[in-house]
Structure 1
């Protein structure tokens, strides 16, 4: 409840003095040439563009956000001005010869004031009406270290809500916004209608979850907005930015949208998009279903839809285009994306979707893509759960509501499964066969890590572990283990490290059987039946860290020349290993660049993800890259060729690495052997 109290105590803070686009009388567009080289980010000055006015009025307007006009002796004019001017011309109606007010006195003996254009710095009559570059002196900070000084605060008015956030060096940040009224246990959430003055300076509590201590609570339905653009009411919708709506993973039992890995600032400032990250109810509080006709489950999934509805209602006030929302998520977040693609209440709330490492296939992996009926969920989990927490007799729901959330969430069989409830999910799988509800107007990407299943393959083999026991630990049936061992499709390496050689086979079987095969089959069937407007697939062959329950297997070996690991040497590309690349947050103290390719690969990845959000095509246009000055990405993509969509007969899968390449459908014979062929969803 701490975050709720802070929200009430702070609701009026900053709302009086904080700047707004309305008080400035202009859109506020933060512009930074972000090359994602975190150690040098602060060396690139940020500017905030405001609309046309006289030089004196420009000075006064910049002062309203606590700034002066951008000085001409800063790094902005040494390295980034031409790229900024080119992008403004590309992105708006600005002429290539457009002039902008920059730092200087409002009174000159000759009545001239400094301006900048593609021709360089010159002067114009101080009375002319020209757009202006205000400075942005807010400091550079990593996630969770936001400078809360009043000077950086900014307020957005959206309908009856007044929301005060802040800015840093790379984006405007609105953290811990309640998107829903706090729901009673096992009731569905509704869009927030509480007190209108909201302090959005710090993250809200994460949702109650397994093993959580301080900072977790049942009152947790918050979202965070990172944006480069704050419009005025008269701003045309064509100026609004694409929205990327992030759904975190964590097995439906853990995680939070405020995780530092998901900080949206870098993706926002380089991609010129709006990023939203959310919390949603987890574990038993989010997914309990009972056969009582009332408790129908999917409360966490419904929270995601509530958050999407809040975004549709309010995101334009934060510079986002509600008609260009892309949902994207990883692991359980990808399972959520998959579910939302077939959820009738969600269809129409997004135009793009990216599912990163959607589980499907063996054992528990199947539950992310094949949904239980409520009766099956009770048999598999809820029945045992009720007994474990001591509510097996009497009024079950009344008993459960009286228990501490810690008791519920930490029970061994706490439910965590999506179910067919008849409203949010009406079929036991996503209808990529054309036989049920699907978001037919959406553009979609499905992808996986090269070794996604390694950390889901059971315990790392010991010295006496046989290959059969290792494979069965996934777990798969004994007869399937025999087929795998008698086949030459999963050959065992011979490196001299017997334990690791055994695990290499197990990891590959787990990756195919829990990720690759059925994600490919999903894409293939959706293309065959024209389910979505477009479909793209990828495999990530380069990773950084990731989910690592088996310590030490997800990092490349360190060498004298590569003390943080050499990615050119063999290592497992593990689950979650793409996240630091696609959020662009490498280079910080705890995330050092390992070699000369980590930084440019992250640049390419951010540019590709943002391109999909803008155009629903992961191939950034050469004109956009040129206007932004992203020469490195442009050169790499020109050399590697286009990412072809899943309709391609030659290269339906994009292998994301340095360099990237196209590939045919992967592991076909292996998927057939495991029982997950390419046509799995076609009948």
Structure 2
């Protein structure tokens, strides 16, 4: 105890000026412990802590002080509720034994420890034990000197910060700034990087503060190793590499919908989001043999390579990267699965709401040749810019402001067969070309196509079909019966939405799973259909209010148990765990548990390549809500040869269940047969 007194006296002399600590100055791995139930309104009531590797109590005090914290003060409530599950999870992972004790704040000159059940006792001060530091950064807190941290990632020194949920490193440049319409190359800029604020989004329409210097990525992580070289492989976390959607013309890795704190904290994964060049600045292709397009797609691969090289310094396992994207992000995932430049650089894929088939959706899964893009998009761009008569077309376009280019009536937004990044016109699901043999989780919203057509302007069925670009043969067709409700325009919208979801999502995505299993192309395939949704309003709520749960006296924000359209992007709040927002509260008692089980399923897939959370994992984490919900429903089964014609599809709702691939006859009628579309 006298030794502790000397240590405390020494620590009292540490100056008030504080430099940003690094893992080497702390001398420890850092694990952020937080019992995350995803209930954001109550998040400030919970506390978190930082776990350090074994050391004596003097070194523990010093390391906590270096972090701007103290040894964890005794808090009876916290030690009885939140702390035990976070420590039990360390036991579950094999990081510590069940009998482990941890240094916490001393009582006078008496050293104190806490065990994995949260019980506090006094102990000899001469032992070496893992330590628990306080963690005073608040929920969704911004960067402060007191909560900053520098990570040494090979030649880079990257300073980020922490909040209540995770360590955050945002606005990291992953490539040198490329000249317009050249491919990005690895980052070689200053090696000291301030990663405490998002970099600008790529130039796009309808958004201010954008830039052509926009190739940044963002990292959320629950764990940072002191020394990657000596860190056991099992301690590294699975990585989710998120690619935003937005029609290849908009979007950003900084969108708060995709904030990775909850994914990292509750899912125990490292979450990465990226920017990539968009619109004509990212996808222009010319018939000049040099400007071959896919610049934004190549940016995604460049970011993926950065993650492969550096993510272990942030606690991520480069051999367990899951690429995940929605809408145009899903199209990107699908293209990465076909790209010779990307195959082998990820272990799993989640293409959510991938477009394909016909109409607007066709080019997301069936790629133009360069001459086709020139005809469809570039020739009109040249007309609109006056560059059609220029002796040097490329030089003429380079002289035009980027914001002008992305706001033209026509833009280049297409993936193309360039011969390098994409060598086939689509994902070769008949085994005729390269394809990433990875674990795959895929699916769509029940009414994904409702977002891509307009609402009928009158009660004429023919007009409704023409306005939605649906074949007139759908009218009076027993495969597509017209509902007979009290609202004629809503009846027509039900018809056109169903048909368009088949044409642009359901048929192609189900056929993809069937063909992949038929030809044994993927390590596993898991398929879903969301039958519960919450639109990202006001960001994206098409044909308002049909995509929103109907309001009644008992449900002023909507009743999700009643019928409404489950529309495009309505899954994102659930998978990222980011409800409620300031304007979007919980609508009923199931929004929170459904969000919990959805995030837990997605994170389970990233960690284990199986979306069924391990009951032992749930018990160790204290995730009783998810455990109770999955106990009421059958397991999620993968798509296999044995069940592909039975019930291979998971309907995600409360409770979830297995069902058949739907609309087979309708897909056949539309020329998109499930069994033979891809051979």
TM class by smaller structure:
over 0.9
Residue of structure 1 equivalent to 2:615: 622
**Map 1:562-641 → 2, pairs under 5 A:** 562-641=555-634
1:469 aligns with 2:471: no
Residue of structure 2 equivalent to 1:675: 671
Q: Please tell me whether the aligned partners of residues 348 and 609 of structure 2 are also in contact (alpha carbons under 8 angstroms).
A: yes
Secondary structure at 2:514 match in 1:
helix
Secondary structure at 2:448 match in 1:
coil
Q: Please tell me whether the aligned partners of residues 55 and 106 of structure 1 are also in contact (alpha carbons under 8 angstroms).
A: no
Distance 2:366 2:521 in 1: 18
Structure 2 vs 1, CA of residues 607 and 216 (structure 1 numbering), >3 Å: closer, same or farther? same
Residue of structure 1 equivalent to 2:54: 52
Residue of structure 1 equivalent to 2:418: 421
Structure 2 vs 1, CA of residues 46 and 35 (structure 1 numbering), >3 Å: closer, same or farther? same
Q: Please tell me whether the aligned partners of residues 59 and 106 of structure 1 are also in contact (alpha carbons under 8 angstroms).
A: no
Secondary structure at 1:102 match in 2:
strand
Residue of structure 2 equivalent to 1:170: 165
1:386 aligns with 2:385: no
1:226 aligns with 2:220: yes
How far the C-alpha of 1:76 sits from its partner, in A, is 2.5
Distance 2:421 2:516 in 1: 21
How far the C-alpha of 1:78 sits from its partner, in A, is 3.0
Residue of structure 1 equivalent to 2:196: 201
Residue of structure 2 equivalent to 1:481: 472
After superposition, what is the alpha-carbon deviation per residue over 1:17-48, rounded to whole angstroms, capped at 9, x for unaligned? 11222211111000111000001112111111
1:278 to 265, 274, 277: 274
Secondary structure at 1:103 match in 2:
strand
**Map 1:149-188 → 2, pairs under 5 A:** 149-188=144-183
Secondary structure at 1:329 match in 2:
strand
In structure 2, the gaps of 5 or more residues are 1-16
Residue of structure 1 equivalent to 2:364: 368
Q: Please tell me whether the aligned partners of residues 456 and 467 of structure 2 are also in contact (alpha carbons under 8 angstroms).
A: no
Structure 2 vs 1, CA of residues 196 and 16 (structure 1 numbering), >3 Å: closer, same or farther? farther
Residue of structure 1 equivalent to 2:262: 266
Structure 2 vs 1, CA of residues 419 and 106 (structure 1 numbering), >3 Å: closer, same or farther? farther
Residue of structure 1 equivalent to 2:283: 287
Distance 1:30 1:523 in 2: 38
2:399 to 390, 402, 413: 402
In structure 1, the gaps of 5 or more residues are 1-14
TM-score (norm 2): 0.94
Residue of structure 2 equivalent to 1:83: 85
1:113 aligns with 2:130: no
Distance 1:588 1:123 in 2: 44
Residue of structure 1 equivalent to 2:6: none
After superposition, what is the alpha-carbon deviation per residue over 1:580-634, rounded to whole angstroms, capped at 9, x for unaligned? 0000010232221100000000000000000000011111111111111111211
1:32 aligns with 2:34: yes
Q: Please tell me whether the aligned partners of residues 64 and 133 of structure 2 are also in contact (alpha carbons under 8 angstroms).
A: yes
Q: Please tell me whether the aligned partners of residues 253 and 283 of structure 1 are also in contact (alpha carbons under 8 angstroms).
A: yes
After superposition, what is the alpha-carbon deviation per residue over 1:506-529, rounded to whole angstroms, capped at 9, x for unaligned? 111111110011100001000000
How far the C-alpha of 1:119 sits from its partner, in A, is 7.0
Residue of structure 1 equivalent to 2:492: 502
1:128 aligns with 2:127: yes
Secondary structure at 2:668 match in 1:
helix
After superposition, what is the alpha-carbon deviation per residue over 1:254-298, rounded to whole angstroms, capped at 9, x for unaligned? 000100100000111000100000000000011001110000000
Distance 1:282 1:358 in 2: 18
Q: Please tell me whether the aligned partners of residues 544 and 555 of structure 1 are also in contact (alpha carbons under 8 angstroms).
A: yes
Residue of structure 1 equivalent to 2:4: none
Q: Please tell me whether the aligned partners of residues 106 and 126 of structure 1 are also in contact (alpha carbons under 8 angstroms).
A: no
Distance 2:598 2:104 in 1: 34
How far the C-alpha of 1:681 sits from its partner, in A, is 3.3
Residue of structure 1 equivalent to 2:535: 545
How far the C-alpha of 1:651 sits from its partner, in A, is 1.9
Secondary structure at 2:81 match in 1:
helix
- Farther off after superposition, 395-404 or 235-244: 235-244
Distance 2:466 2:362 in 1: 16
Secondary structure at 1:378 match in 2:
helix
Distance 1:651 1:418 in 2: 34
Q: Please tell me whether the aligned partners of residues 286 and 370 of structure 2 are also in contact (alpha carbons under 8 angstroms).
A: yes
1:103 to 69, 86, 105: 105
How far the C-alpha of 1:426 sits from its partner, in A, is 0.3
Secondary structure at 1:177 match in 2:
strand
Count of aligned positions:
654
Distance 2:636 2:281 in 1: 41
**Map 1:551-562 → 2, pairs under 5 A:** 551-562=544-555
Structure 2 vs 1, CA of residues 533 and 503 (structure 1 numbering), >3 Å: closer, same or farther? same
1:352 aligns with 2:348: yes
Distance 2:29 2:256 in 1: 28
1:448 aligns with 2:444: yes
1:217 to 211, 218, 221: 211
1:529 aligns with 2:519: yes
Distance 1:236 1:588 in 2: 38
Structure 2 vs 1, CA of residues 119 and 501 (structure 1 numbering), >3 Å: closer, same or farther? closer
Distance 1:330 1:497 in 2: 32
Q: Please tell me whether the aligned partners of residues 372 and 418 of structure 1 are also in contact (alpha carbons under 8 angstroms).
A: yes
Q: Please tell me whether the aligned partners of residues 471 and 509 of structure 1 are also in contact (alpha carbons under 8 angstroms).
A: no
How far the C-alpha of 1:148 sits from its partner, in A, is 2.3
Structure 2 vs 1, CA of residues 123 and 115 (structure 1 numbering), >3 Å: closer, same or farther? farther
How far the C-alpha of 1:665 sits from its partner, in A, is 1.0
Distance 2:336 2:411 in 1: 23
How far the C-alpha of 1:105 sits from its partner, in A, is 4.4
Secondary structure at 1:580 match in 2:
helix
Structure 2 vs 1, CA of residues 552 and 358 (structure 1 numbering), >3 Å: closer, same or farther? same
Distance 2:529 2:621 in 1: 27
TM-score (norm 1): 0.94
Secondary structure at 1:83 match in 2:
helix
Residue of structure 1 equivalent to 2:12: none
Q: Please tell me whether the aligned partners of residues 97 and 119 of structure 1 are also in contact (alpha carbons under 8 angstroms).
A: no
Q: Please tell me whether the aligned partners of residues 507 and 673 of structure 2 are also in contact (alpha carbons under 8 angstroms).
A: yes
Residue of structure 2 equivalent to 1:23: 25
Q: Please tell me whether the aligned partners of residues 523 and 646 of structure 1 are also in contact (alpha carbons under 8 angstroms).
A: yes
After superposition, what is the alpha-carbon deviation per residue over 1:216-236, rounded to whole angstroms, capped at 9, x for unaligned? 010000000001111111322
